[in-house]
Amino acid sequence: MPDVTGAPQNRTYWNETASVPSFPALAGDIEVDVAIIGGGIVGVTTARLLKDMGQRVAVIEARRVGQQVTGKSTAKMTSQHGIIYQTLEQKFGEDRARLYGEAQERGVRRISELAVQWGIKADIEPMPAYTYTNDESYVSQIEKEVEVAQRLGLPARLEHGDIGLPYNVLAAIRFDSQAQFHPVRYVAGLAATIPGEGSHVFEGSRAIEWEPTRVVTDHGTVTARHVVMATHLPLGQVGMYYAMAYPQAEPVLAAPIRRVPPGMYKNAEKPGHSIRTHRHENGQVYAIAAGTTFKPGHPDEEQDYIQELERWLTKNFEAGPIEYRWINEDYTPMDSAPFIGWSSKSDGYLVATGFDAWGISNGTVAAMIIADLATGRENRWLDIFDATRVKPIAGAKEFVVENAEVAAHLVSGYLSRKPKSYDELEPGHAAIMKVDGENVAAFKDEGGVVHAVSAVCTHMGCLVGWNATDRTWDCPCHGSRFELSGEVIHGPATQPLGSKVTG
Ligand SMILES: Cc1cc2nc3c(=O)[nH]c(=O)nc-3n(C[C@H](O)[C@H](O)[C@H](O)COP(=O)(O)OP(=O)(O)OC[C@H]3O[C@@H](n4cnc5c(N)ncnc54)[C@H](O)[C@@H]3O)c2cc1C
Ligand code: FES
């Protein structure tokens, strides 16, 4: 895919340890039963399940399957989502909170079943999942979470002290019978089972226009009975989910470690620390660790949190050298449950978003629900996930305005300390600057070449911010991400940032 500057944003541990098939771009116009925009875990699993139901499907992927948010995650397969069940019970009631847990457990098992059924070597490894605390003020929440999770029928128990980490903890929730896997090998392996009998997987094919029964890409048009938006956040204005779920970025590191913990871990408090392991083909065990969340395009926090995570990993796990660093994003839904199903009772897109960094199990659940809905079946999990449950109109404008203000604030603070012309920009540095009265996002590479694009996000006009780790421009408002060339990496934007002449 286009990466004209050698930017490191596709250099992740998972992408580099998977040898995956490639798929052709769409060429011309075709017709299928269900068109699926997006080839992450949601899109590819939906396609597989629909094909099993006798449907002809087309996965339309703008870049490479499995390598975007799914391929940048820590890839824990678990129903243990931090402190969530007490929140869900409070917001949705006990029965719906139970449905959430049941769905996640089923989603985790479905991944294993599909891997076995299709012979996918996805490195699935059974592993307990822990959320722990060393902060007195979280202990009662941990205790309550165990009590609620047990009542909901989940495999939870309370632990203290030694949970296999290099340090003792005050309290921990342990879920048994969970697992971890290789997300790129899994999604790409599953995608390889789809082409044939009237079904397709297309890479390098970006959806640029859509209707409930038609997707126009930069390489042709797909007509279908239904369109699934499996693009992490629905594109453009569909369902206005950007007004009901906000983006959070997180640093992720991968490094060989010599103290190997026997589980998957995450703490409840900040700074955030999440860790799992993976045995590399070179024989070494690597940690894949994630840190504290921050607003995308906020370079100061990004650098602070990535350094803090490096210190934590190195000190506690005899880790090093840090071989991979990247930033990933997910959307936090405003009422704690993802939005899955029809985007509205009238416009007829099938959507899945708001996974709050738990979209491996939730994404598989989403695929199961969407496959049912697209084939006219009912799905009782909709009782908690129903994507029409909140009317987006009320409050949406305020949400957008508020975010736009935050973005403007962030960028203007950033501007005041940064160069004001291309000449003042040091090699290896980036800045938002005014050029001929326009906001320009500029990066000067180590060879002195300036890469300049419009700093105005093509989704709804917020100013993008710099991501120094991946060398991308990320939008704080709704999480769109762009390469240095302006090419879209992540929606809801679908149009590139306009390029600028640099003299
Ligand atoms: C730091 C971090 C760690 C995480 N760790 C875990 C974890 O351990 N366990 C867990 O359960 N979850 C985890 N998650 C969450 C999980 O990774 C995501 O929720 C999930 O992968 C989202 O899957 P998806 O299919 O919706 O998105 P994606 O994988 O991003 O797939 C969407 C696809 O749509 C494509 N696309 C976008 N726009 C277009 C367009 N216009 N045309 C065509 N294609 C398009 C994209 O290129 C992309 O490939 C983590 C998240 C973060 C941020
Ligand atoms: S992602 Fe919505 S304005 Fe940038």
**Which residue's CA is the nearest one to ligand 1's atom 41?**
207
Q: Within a 13 Å sphere around the CA of 245, how many CA atoms are in the beta-carbon half?
A: 27
Give SS3 for 445.
Answer: coil
Ligand found nearest the CA of 290: 1
How far from the centroid of its chain's Cα atoms is residue 261's Cα?
25
Beta bridge partners of 252: 290, 326
Tell me the C-alpha distance between 211 and 201, whole Å.
20
* Three-state helix/strand/coil letters over 326-393: EEEEEEEECCCCCEEEECCCCCCEEEEECCCCCHHHHHHHHHHHHHHHHCCCCCCCHHHHECCCCCCC
Residue 95 falls within a domain, yes or no? no
How do strand 125-133 and strand 214-217 relate by DSSP bridges?
unpaired
Judgement on whether residues 238 and 254 belong to the same structural domain of the protein: no
Judgement on whether residues 284 and 376 belong to the same structural domain of the protein: no
Q: What is the pLDDT of residues 130-143, one digit of tens each?
A: 999 999 999 999 99
Judgement on whether residues 26 and 49 belong to the same structural domain of the protein: yes
Judgement on whether residues 152 and 299 belong to the same structural domain of the protein: yes
CA of 14 to the centre of ligand 1 (A): 13
CATH classification of the domain holding 433: 2.102.10.10
Q: Phi and psi of 151, rounded to 5°?
A: -60, -30
Residue 64 falls within a domain, yes or no? yes
Task: Tell me the Ramachandran region of residue 200: left when phi exceeds 0, alpha when psi lies from -120 to 50, beta otherwise.
Answer: beta
Tell me which of 304, 333, 362 is where a domain ends: 333
Judgement on whether residues 48 and 171 belong to the same structural domain of the protein: no
- 48, 73, 202: which to mutate for ligand 1, most atoms within 8 A of CB? 73
Within a 10 A sphere around the Cβ of 332, how many other Cβ atoms? Answer: 14
CA-to-CA separations, 223 to 61, 220, 266, 349, in angstroms, rounded: 16, 10, 43, 13
- Whole-angstrom distance between the N-terminal and C-terminal Cα of the chain? 27
Q: What is the pLDDT of residues 402-440, one digit of tens each?
A: 455 555 544 444 444 468 899 999 999 999 999 999 999
Instruction: Give the model's pLDDT for residue 393.
Output: 40
Nearest CA-CA partner of 154 in 183, 177, 127: 177
Judgement on whether residues 264 and 163 belong to the same structural domain of the protein: yes
Tell me which of 385, 415, 446 is where a domain ends: 385
Judgement on whether residues 288 and 432 belong to the same structural domain of the protein: no
Tell me the C-alpha distance between 285 and 319, whole Å.
10
- Please count the residues of the chain: 503
Judgement on whether residues 327 and 342 belong to the same structural domain of the protein: no
CATH classification of the domain holding 276: 3.30.9.10
How do strand 30-31 and strand 220-223 relate by DSSP bridges?
parallel
CA of 135 to the centre of ligand 1 (A): 31
Distant-in-sequence, close-in-space partners of 358: CB < 8 Å, separation ≥ 6: 78, 81, 104
Residue 108 falls within a domain, yes or no? no
Residue 89 falls within a domain, yes or no? no
Peptide bond into 212 cis (omega under 30): no
Ligand 1 atom closest to 183 (CA):
21
Per-residue pLDDT, averaged over 68-78, amounts to: 98
CA of 47 to the centre of ligand 2 (A): 28
Confidence of residue 392 (pLDDT cuts 50, 70, 90): very low
CA of 401 to the centre of ligand 2 (A): 11
How far from the centroid of its chain's Cα atoms is residue 167's Cα?
30
Per-residue pLDDT, averaged over 323-348, amounts to: 93
Lowest mean pLDDT among 7-16, 52-61, 354-363, 403-412: 403-412
Judgement on whether residues 288 and 423 belong to the same structural domain of the protein: no
Question: Could you tell me the pTM of the whole model?
Answer: 0.95
Tell me which of 317, 352, 385 is where a domain ends: 385
Number of domains in the chain: 3
Judgement on whether residues 234 and 250 belong to the same structural domain of the protein: no
Tell me the C-alpha distance between 228 and 251, whole Å.
29
Domain carrying residue 148: 124-178+244-333
Judgement on whether residues 329 and 342 belong to the same structural domain of the protein: no
Instruction: Give the model's pLDDT for residue 131.
Output: 98
Residue 115 falls within a domain, yes or no? no
> pLDDT: is 11 or 272 the higher one?
272
Distant-in-sequence, close-in-space partners of 376: CB < 8 Å, separation ≥ 6: none
Judgement on whether residues 410 and 323 belong to the same structural domain of the protein: no
